[in-house]
Amino acid sequence: MDGKKNPFLKRVMKTKSSEFLDLIEDHDYQFEWDYDVIEPDAEFKSTVTEVIKDIKKDTKGIIPDFTVGYVKGTGKLGKYIDGTSSRPMIALDVDSILASIKKYNVYLDGG
């Protein structure tokens, strides 16, 4: 991972060891650090929001709240971001999901 692309890593590399824990506690992961972030259309986002509500309802709190980011170019449908277990983050590759919907003739409706 390159400090030029990742502002948090750049800060870590310049931090004194005595300040490191404060820096880590201040850390909030940003999808932009590792992915090309995109803005999907409203219908896609609405469907994902409904799926998330269903997951939360169906799991009755077993799965903690999580944040979804919309990205492209991963070649995967979605990916859990390592190291975000206290506030889980999931990157959804919109292009891969839409291509899979067409390829397999399925619908993204949460049902």
Mean pLDDT (whole number) for 41-58: 91
Domain coverage including residue 9: 1-33
Q: How confident is the model at residue 6 (pLDDT cuts 50, 70, 90)?
A: low
pLDDT at 26 over 50: no
My answer on whether 44 and 74 are in the same domain is yes
Looking at the fold, whether 28 and 40 belong to one and the same domain comes out as: no
In this structure, the answer to whether residues 10 and 22 fall within a common structural domain is yes
Residue 83 and residue 103 in one domain: yes
Q: Answer yes or no: do 62 and 87 share one domain.
A: yes
The pLDDT confidence band at residue 44, using thresholds 50, 70 and 90, is very high
Q: Which tokens go with 30?
A: 């940003």
The count of domains in the chain is 2
47 with 88, same domain? yes
Q: Kindly compute the dihedral angle of the four CA atoms of residues 55, 74, 93, 89, in this order, to the nearest 10 degrees.
A: 40
67 and 88, same domain (yes or no): yes
Q: Do 54 and 75 fall into the same domain?
A: yes
Global model pTM greater than 0.75: no
Which residues touch 56 (CB under 8 Å, ≥6 apart)?
A: 63, 65
Q: What is the pLDDT of residue 16?
A: 59
